[in-house]
Structure 1
Amino acid sequence: MSDLLEDPDRIAALENCIRKTASKPSEFLGYIEAGIHDPLVAVAVSPFIFSGGNQRFGCPGAGAYYAGNSFSVAISETLHHYALFLRKTPGVKRNELRCYCFVNRVNCDLVRILSGAVLNIEGHGDASADEVLDPDCYTISQTLAADLRARGESGVVYPSVRQKGGECVAIFRIDGVEAPHDWSRLLYDWEGDAFSSVWHCDASFNKIKIFKYL
């Protein structure tokens, strides 16, 4: 993943992101140099380089860092989004998708979105949490994210849409999350229209034991 930070245009985009979102930009500009040599730093900073137009709490030109509060929540969320991506990718039939699981710490205060709550969004009015957490439409959640960013908020914590009882975070500021620790490697078995299983793997992505049959 370190190649994400070898492209001059992406480096420039990240520098701009840091200046806009970090509370102390000079401290975090060092992430760029570190990220070129350390893939784990690249994991933390790369989500802020890309447009967030297709993300629940993204905005045009502003991505976010997403994580779940447990291993199983992270699996459920990524299974859903990887499946959407693969179904839209021509010619992808049976395949094994290599995935990494990272663990890291959130370093900022977050706005909590509670089920059943009503939120007031500047320029939009009231919106229910159900609208913000719509499984398929991100229009209201992106409007809320833009409003929260304008207020200087660092991110949100919200109920997982893909696993009942789980929670997720979306971090807006690059200094809101630490560089992660490499915790686990996984293989997702893709059957052409859906995933069939998730496997724990060794460092070379050899299957060790099944995590879940789907």
Structure 2
Amino acid sequence: MKITSINDRGLVRLIPATYHKPPVLRGLVDTDEEAEILAELEGETSARLIAERDGSPALDRRELVFARRAHDLKLYGESHINAAFTYTRPTGNRFNGGDRGAWYCSYDVLTSAEEVGFHRTRELGFIGVFRDEARYVELLADFIGDFPDLNGTPEHPALSADPEIGYPEGQALAAALRREGHRGLLYPSVRHRGGRCFAAFDPGIIQNVRPGASWQLTWNGTPEFSVEGI
């Protein structure tokens, strides 16, 4: 597999707007002290907070991102980075298993929209109702380094459009690359023709996270969806 050097800014990750709002628990209490008590209770079941405190079998807590300044100067994006690696689907995604996540992003927002839209369309298909609206917020990040690159190899089994084929192959590939010391992977989008994507295997390579634009995906009765800036 070829190795490609990158020094790229503003790669796009889309997250549901719900996860970008202030903590929902704050609205249930009157003081910061009460909010801290609720946060401690939440921490007993939060996969991210548990991993930050104790780690997990597949994720050393020292790999995660922690505040590097005073509390009131906490760097933006720390919780988002940690959440990407600690909240996972039980069966994983294309380049991560169920025990350890990854930071998926792309070089173009429409590519990211097609990727997240595919997954939401699958969920709507399970209930047979393709009527929905979903809002997403961009998280922009910068990356620099030398990474394995699957672009130009569309026949690779890890890039199969069928998750039953592509995901096991991709997870095995990612595990092998991580054992070899690689910290991320460049690959062509499976859902958006011509799109380029990147999966970060290591929280430490995700730089300068900042918020971007907001988007709405809408389904009006069919699996096809529209994408609109808001």
Q: Is the 8 A contact 1:76 1:163 kept in 2?
A: yes
- Return the match for 1:69 from 85, 92, 107: 107
Matched to 2:111, the amino acid is V
RMSD over aligned Cα atoms:
3.2
Identity %: 23
1:186 aligns with: 215
> TM-score under structure 1 normalisation?
0.71
1:46 aligns with: 83
Three-state SS of the structure 1 residue aligned to 2:143 is coil
Matched to 1:199, the amino acid is E
Three-state SS of the structure 1 residue aligned to 2:51 is helix
Three-state SS of the structure 1 residue aligned to 2:139 is strand
CA distance in 2, matches of 1:77, 1:109: 24
Structure 2: which 5+ runs fail to align? 1-18, 25-38
CA distance in 1, matches of 2:96, 2:63: 24
How far 1:14 sits from its partner (Å)? 3.8
CA distance in 2, matches of 1:27, 1:79: 28
1:103 aligns with: 140
- Return the match for 1:131 from 157, 175, 187: 157
Shift in CA distance, 144/97, structure 1 to aligned 2, threshold 3 Å: same
Moved over 4 A (4+): 2-6, 19-22
Q: Is the 8 A contact 2:92 2:101 kept in 1?
A: no
Moved more, 108-117 or 41-50: 108-117
Q: Is the 8 A contact 1:41 1:179 kept in 2?
A: no
The superposition leaves residues 18-42 of structure 1 with CA deviations (integer Å, 9 ceiling, x where unpaired) of: x9468xx3883338x97xx887432
> TM-score under structure 2 normalisation?
0.67
Three-state SS of the structure 1 residue aligned to 2:146 is coil
Three-state SS of the structure 2 residue aligned to 1:184 is strand
Does 1 or 2 have the higher relative contact order (CA < 8 Å, sep 6+)? 2
Count of residue correspondences: 183
Shift in CA distance, 98/114, structure 1 to aligned 2, threshold 3 Å: closer
The superposition leaves residues 100-157 of structure 1 with CA deviations (integer Å, 9 ceiling, x where unpaired) of: 122111244321123338xxxxxxxxxxx52111111211111111111222211100
Structure 1: which 5+ runs fail to align? 118-128, 202-214
CA distance in 1, matches of 2:133, 2:102: 26
CA distance in 2, matches of 1:92, 1:180: 35
1:170 aligns with: 199
Shift in CA distance, 140/189, structure 1 to aligned 2, threshold 3 Å: same
1:30 aligns with: 67
Three-state SS of the structure 1 residue aligned to 2:138 is strand
CA distance in 2, matches of 1:77, 1:95: 17
